[in-house]
Structure 1
Amino acid sequence: MADRDGHGLLMRLPLFLVICGVAAMSMYVPATYALIRDNHPASQSFFYSGTLGLFCVTMIATAMGGRKSRFGALGQLLAFFAAFTVLPLYLAVPFHDALRTTAFENAYFDMVSAITTTGADMFGDPSRLDPVLHLWRAQVGWLGGLLMWIGASAIMAPLSLGGFEVTARGEPGRSEELPTQGGPMHPRARLLQVAYVLGPLYAGLTGLLWILQMVLGETALTALCHAMSVMATSGISPVGGLQGAQTGVAGEAVLFLFLFFALSRLTFSNDTVQRGGGRLDRDPEFRVGLFIVLTIPVVLFARHWLASFDIDQGENFTLALRALWGAMFTVMSFLTTTGFESADWAEAQQWSGLETPGLILMGLTLIGGGVATTAGGVKLLRVYALYLHGLRELERLVYPNSVSVFRGGNRRIQRDGAFIAWVSFMLLATSLAAVCLALSLLGIGFEQAMILAVATLSTTGPVIELASAAPIQLVELGLGAKAVLCSAMVLGRLETLAIIALFTRDLWRV
């Protein structure tokens, strides 16, 4: 009876209010950790903020408990939009109060960066932040990744958004009833069902990765933050990246395996497969991702190998293997928009005598990972749809009267999938140009504006440090520039089509 009452209450309450309640309860984790570390000021900041938040949520829930939800799946999409824009105001309160050495706007920017899984480092020196704050940043990013895991199947898929418009039969932004046992399912019921299934899986994988890193010799805090950051593809680290980790190549290899969850939804669930088989080896996203992860490092390795003869290190095979591994891990990390740099990436540069290929890393982040994962970018499925369209056009040049036949994994792509994928690319290009123009008008140079725009729209904050010859200090940017970057991070997380759908008035119905 208690489970039914709790389920009914969650069905009636606004989704954004439920998310705020979860955020408030999560503040007790850093409060407890700070208490263990005898950091009582930080513990009080998180404890009081969480308690006050729960009190407000309870009061509002009591007042609204008898009301029914007025909106359908699109209303839940609006709640997600509020979670990425309004909720960071609340998340920044204990962070700002515990840090005490930064403006609130910087704390808000950092929380937007974390919850959108961007991971842009506002505070360049990790020693500036207390371990409790590092834990909070990674935890917020982890919760943001969980939102996308759940929202992809429960919200994006029924609305044919977030990459599903390439495969779905419905029009983008219009609710499409997915096949379920027992007929159509209420949007909130579907959300709760997906949360009950994927939530424990997400937490279990994170816990497994945490334990594996500690077994390899990593400290508990660093292992936990890196585990949460890899599962959420946020790239947040309490030690400034993998260069400060203690596990070496073995630790990177473990992280590399868990990055595969960001290449395709089928690595952990088949709940969004609408047509075609659910086999991973036939999944076009997974195959395209593997091709990129294997091909680009080999190309970079060959480039490094040719350059190494000029500096008389062509026979150093140990450095060659380290360079190959560093390139493979870094390519995988940036393709999944995680942004962790391998500790051997610097060795690859020293071995070859060449500079960092920042443009390649920026291109990888724009491609992004799989649909319905925590990765950002334009998604591998859209790239695959355009690839199929290109092959078809080449075939028509040779055989103008030929008829296209869908086979294998191609059945996942709808007839107009390539056109819709091209529209998504154009929307991204337009957004990229708009963000660059806005930053340029605020006094930022073209190169820095381009790097910042790519990093925020692809939700890959670490690319800001690696793609620029001169470091970009985010804390030194003006208020207008930070507001533009916050908007770009939200736009990159939800995508332009989803935000456009929120302005369609005739869609606001159950």
Structure 2
Amino acid sequence: MIARLLSFPLILVLAGISALAMFIPALHALVNEDHSVSRSFAYSGVLGMTLVMVIGLAMSGRQRGGTNELQNLLSLFLAYSALPLFLAVPFYEGLETTSFLNAYTEMVSSVTTTGATLFEDPKRLGDTLHLWRGMVGWAGGLLVWVSASAVLAPLNLGGFEVTASAEPGQGEPVTGRFERASMDKRIRQITMQLGPIYVGLTAALWILLLIGGDRPMVAMIHAMSTLATSGISPIGGVQNGASGVTGEMVIFLFMLFALSRLTFSSDTITAARPGLNSDPEFRIGVLLVLGVPVLLFARHWLGSLELQEPASVGMVLSALWGGTFTVLSFLSTTGFESTDWAVARDWSGLGTPGLILLGLSLVGGGVATTAGGVKLLRVYALYLNGRREMERLVHPSSVGRASAGGRRIRRQGAFIAWIFFMLFAMSLAFFTVTLALLGMDFEEAIVLTIAALSTTGPLTQVAAEQPINLLQLSAAAKLVLSAAMVIGRLETLAIIALFNPGLWRD
């Protein structure tokens, strides 16, 4: 049965799953006696299932070959750009006080795990609508987990191009295709492998947050947002939660899964020896998580030499914890702000160190995780290449000390990583200029662009001097922002691969 369903286009399967998922918030609203919202989700779910079944029946009588990698890449692009049109229908009908464009932008932000909300006041949305935002973001995170191995890896995209022998957007040689399972079977196997892990980790974090004191709805949405790195919150952030620092400590442990795929899977080994201690992504991530807060913490002493301000042990620990949690949160592109982040800011004397948070979000997390950004593996490839070039300046005839895989990352991998950086910079410049032409000042335009391309929506509230009100943006600016979020989630190399003539030949 599952194999038969997966034989249909991936976008049709995702639309059917979305329609079924609408019945969960419908039941939630019904239990809470919010009948208007319940009807919105129930009717949308029934209508969606009807359309999916009709399209499925129309396609079932046609002889079709198996779907290839590029067709699933197109389906993935449609899942981030077109599917939110359907996801926004119950949100728009349930809220009743916003435009459909606002609802669409909100759903694009959720499904791409960006988490930038147009509704700054959480009280404007009921619990059911917050639940729908969290569910869409959580499902988007699972889609990233599965599609990374099932769709992007065969095409050497999404960070896999750094270690692969084939060119980005191209499959392996013909001899490798006979050894690889069909695309439908691959999706099924990877979903069955990673799905239970994703659900189990979310459930474990939910229970721990419940024990910490959060109410069930808040704990559930924060758990889903942490695993999906969406940063969606029904109360304006974890700093407003009842679990306090205890809840932040638990969330901190689960955000580590965004630093490396090896924390939950072994299909992206980039080192000669297995294990997190040998994984370059995890090591660089931990170095940033520990190093940046220490630098912010040490900066205080430069100012205190003149002021001679006394500091208690509690303030010292609060400043260290606030910096460490917030750094990991933005490095993983989650965007949660610690309760003690204000203490860390005052301690360092930087006010709002938005530039640091922007830089961390641009770096991003690990390959094939739910984190966005340029990915730690690409940063590592450029680091290896730069270190080798410095060695050759000192010893021009030296021979590099590395395995075959290390040489691949240092040479071809660094070349591809540099191409990606140039494409990312061009995208950053394009969307910044476009938003500026639409009437925004430079600071707001660049913060919005980085937030969208790195899928770190909370940057719009904490990176600039004043929070950016997305609801007041023009219609054109919202569409541009939505396009930037889609490109940031799918990455520019994957968008370019969609222009491959092999995709449209059939």
TM range (shorter): over 0.9
Aligned to 1:202: 198
Match of 2:49 in 1: 54
Matched, 1:486 2:482: yes
Post-superposition shift, 1:176? Answer: 2.3
Q: What does 1:111-130 align with in structure 2 at a 5 Å threshold?
A: 111-130=107-126
1:288-344 superposed Cα distances (whole Å, 9 cap, x missing partner): 001110100100111134335555544322111101000000000000000000010
Alpha-carbon displacement from aligned partner over 1:194-227 (angstroms, at most 9, x marks no partner): 0111111111110110001001111100100000
Q: What is the 5 A alignment of 1:280-429?
A: 280-308=276-304, 312-407=308-403, 410=406, 413=409, 415-429=411-425
C-alpha deviation, 1:130, in angstroms = 0.4
Distance 2:405 2:460 in 1: 36
How far, CA to CA, are the matches of 2:369 and 2:276 in structure 1?
15
2:266 matched to which residue of 1? 270
Deviation, structure 1 residue 65: 2.0
Structure 2: distance between partners of 1:116 and 1:313: 45
SS of the equivalent of 1:324 reads helix
Distance change in 2, residues 1:15/1:74 (3 Å): same
- Alignment-mate amino acid for residue 39 of structure 1: D
AA aligned opposite 1:149: W
For the residue of structure 1 that corresponds to 2:411, the secondary structure is coil
Q: Is the 8 A contact 2:354 2:463 kept in 1?
A: yes
d(CA) in 1 for partners of 2:290, 2:243: 24
Q: Unaligned regions of 5+ residues in structure 2, if any? A: none
Q: Matched residues in 1 for 2:303 and 2:159: separation?
A: 40
Deviation at 1:361, TM superposition (A): 0.2
Deviation digits for residues 98-154 of structure 1, max 9, x if unmatched? 000101100000000000000002100001110110110011000000000000011
Report the alpha carbon displacement of residue 54 of structure 1 after superposing the two structures with TM.
0.9
Could you tell me how far 1:477 is from its partner in structure 2? 0.5
Contact 2:116 2:457 in 1 (8 A): yes
Any conservation in 2 of the 1:369–1:375 contact (CA below 8 Å)?
yes
Q: Deviations over 1:372-417 (max 9, x none)?
A: 0000000000000000011001100010011113149836726311
- Return the alpha-carbon distance in structure 1 between the equivalents of residues 88 and 58 of structure 2: 26
1:43 equivalent to 2:26? Answer no
Divergent runs of 4+, >4 A = 177-182, 308-312, 507-510
Partner of 1:253: 249
2:210 alignment counterpart: 214
Question: Is 1:9 the counterpart of 2:4 in the alignment?
Answer: yes
- Give, as a single letter, the amino acid of the residue that structure 2 aligns with 1:376: G
Whether 1:99 and 2:99 are equivalent positions in the alignment is no
| Residue of 176, 181, 185 corresponding to 1:185 | 181
The one of 226, 229, 238 aligned to 1:233: 229
Taking structure 1 as reference, are residues 352 and 169 closer, same or farther at Cα in structure 2, changes over 3 Å only? closer
Aligned to 1:167: 163
CA 1:178 to 1:281, structure 2 compared with 1: closer, same or farther past 3 Å? farther
1:56: how far off? Answer: 1.1
CA distance in 2, matches of 1:154, 1:412: 23
CA contact (8 A) 1:275 1:412 kept: no
Is the Cα–Cα contact under 8 Å of residues 167 and 414 in structure 1 kept in the other structure?
A: no
Quickly say closer, same or farther: Cα 1:445–1:411, change in 2 above 3 A: same
Label 1:179 to 1:81 Cα distance change in 2 as closer, same or farther (>3 A).
Answer: same
Alignment of 1:22 with 2:12, yes or no, is no
TM-score (norm 1): 0.95
Change (3 A) 1:370 1:221: same
CA distance in structure 1 between the partners assigned to 2:271 and 2:391 by the alignment: 25
| Separation in 2, partners of 1:233, 1:266 | 17
The aligned counterpart of 1:88 is 84
Bigger mean CA deviation after superposition, 305-314 or 29-38: 305-314
Distance 1:178 1:135 in 2: 46
Cα 1:74–1:155 shift into 2, 3 Å: same
Cα distance in 2 for partners of 1:308, 1:9 equals 68
Q: After alignment, is 127-136 or 296-305 more displaced?
A: 296-305
Cα distance in 1 for residues equivalent to 2:215 and 2:174: 44
Q: Deviations over 1:43-95 (max 9, x none)?
A: 11111111111111111112212442464011101001000000000000000
CA contact (8 A) 1:153 1:372 kept: yes
Cα distance 1:238–1:18, how it changes in 2: closer, same or farther (>3 A)?
Answer: same
| Number of the residue aligned with 1:3 | none
Distance change (3 Å), C-alpha of 1:283 and 1:408: farther
SS of residue paired to 2:158: coil
Q: Could you report, residue by residue, the CA deviation over 1:472-494 in whole angstroms, capped at 9, with x for unpaired residues? A: 11011001101110000000000
CA distance in 2, matches of 1:431, 1:496: 8
- Contact 1:158/1:178 (<8 A) preserved: no
Distance in 2 between residues matched to 1:359 and 1:402, nearest whole Å: 39
| Matched length | 505
Number of the residue aligned with 1:33: 28
Pairwise CA RMSD of aligned residues?
1.9
CA contact 1:25–1:54 (8 Å) conserved in 2: yes
**Secondary structure of the corresponding residue to residue 268 of structure 2:** coil
Match of 2:467 among 463, 467, 471: 471
Distance 1:385 1:19 in 2: 34
What does residue 60 of structure 2 align with?
65
2:430 alignment counterpart: 434
What secondary structure, in the 3-state scheme, does the structure 2 residue paired with 1:415 have?
A: helix
Structure 2 residue aligned with 1:502: 498
CA contact (8 A) 1:84 1:115 kept: yes
Q: Which range is displaced more, 350-359 or 171-180?
A: 171-180
TM-score by structure 2 length?
Answer: 0.96
When residues 401 and 414 of structure 1 are mapped into structure 2, their CA distance, relative to the original with a 3 A threshold, is closer
User: Which residue identity lines up with residue 376 of structure 2 in the other structure?
Assistant: L
Q: Could you tell me how far apart the structure 1 residues matched to 2:228 and 2:276 are? A: 21
Matched-pair contact (CA < 8 Å) for 1:369–1:376: yes
Cα offset, 1:241, TM superposition: 0.3
Distance 1:178 1:318, change over 3 A: farther
CA distance in 2, matches of 1:284, 1:366: 18
